């Protein structure tokens, strides 16, 4: 038997959630505007070909084309003191829990997952992120 958690929402959670709903559309618009500005201003050494139709962007994905770009992205985020995270969990197949005889993949490698794991990081994108902050980030990335 697998262990797990069973969370049930409470009336207080429902009350708080309902109070946030009127703000949702404006917050999604702000996050999406941030993402479009980020993609327009990001340098060519970062991937920028994301599908944006119907999105509600929660993060700026800084996925470089190579190790040098990944290094530059990390230097910029460190210098600007912007907190970052690995893209999702990186290449899940490299995690110890996946090293099981029951887990198999077709072929020997997952090149896209490996590249994202090696060359990518996420920066948070919320309604509190201003266009000036996005401009500061993209300007610093372009000059890195």
Domain parsing of the chain, residue ranges: 23-143
CATH number of 23-143: 3.90.1150.10
pLDDT band at 3 (very low <50, low <70, confident <90, very high): low
Q: 52: Cβ–Cβ under 8 A, 6 or more apart, which residues?
A: 32, 35, 36, 39
What mean pLDDT comes out for the span 25-51? 96
Structure tokens at 25: 């559309």
pTM of the model: 0.80
88 vs 76: CA distance, rounded Å: 20
The pLDDT value given to residue 134: 97
CA 46 to chain centre: 13
* Most distant CA atoms of the chain, gap in Å: 53
What mean pLDDT comes out for the span 16-40? 95
The pLDDT tens digits for 46-87 are 999 999 999 999 999 999 999 999 999 999 999 999 999 988
Q: 114: Cβ–Cβ under 8 A, 6 or more apart, which residues?
A: 91, 94
The pLDDT value given to residue 118: 92
The pLDDT tens digits for 99-126 are 777 777 766 678 888 889 899 999 999 9
User: Which has the closest alpha carbon to 138: 96, 94, 125?
Assistant: 125
pLDDT score of 131 more than 60: yes
Q: Is the dihedral of CA 113, 118, 119, 122 positive or negative?
A: positive
């Amino acid at each position: 038997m697998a262990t797990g958690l069973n969370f049930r929402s409470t009336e207080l959670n429902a009350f708080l959630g309902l109070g946030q709903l009127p703000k949702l559309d404006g917050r999604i618009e702000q996050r999406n505007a941030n993402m479009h500005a980020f993609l327009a201003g990001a340098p060519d050494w970062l991937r920028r070909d994301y599908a944006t139709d119907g999105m509600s962007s929660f993060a700026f994905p800084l996925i470089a084309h190579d190790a040098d770009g990944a290094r530059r992205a990390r230097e910029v985020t460190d210098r600007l003191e912007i907190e970052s995270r690995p893209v999702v969990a990186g290449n899940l197949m490299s995690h110890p829990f996946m090293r099981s005889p029951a887990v198999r993949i077709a072929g020997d490698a997952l090149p896209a997952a490996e590249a994202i794991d090696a060359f990518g990081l996420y920066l948070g994108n919320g309604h509190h992120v201003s266009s000036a902050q996005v401009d500061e980030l993209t300007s610093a990335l372009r000059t890195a």
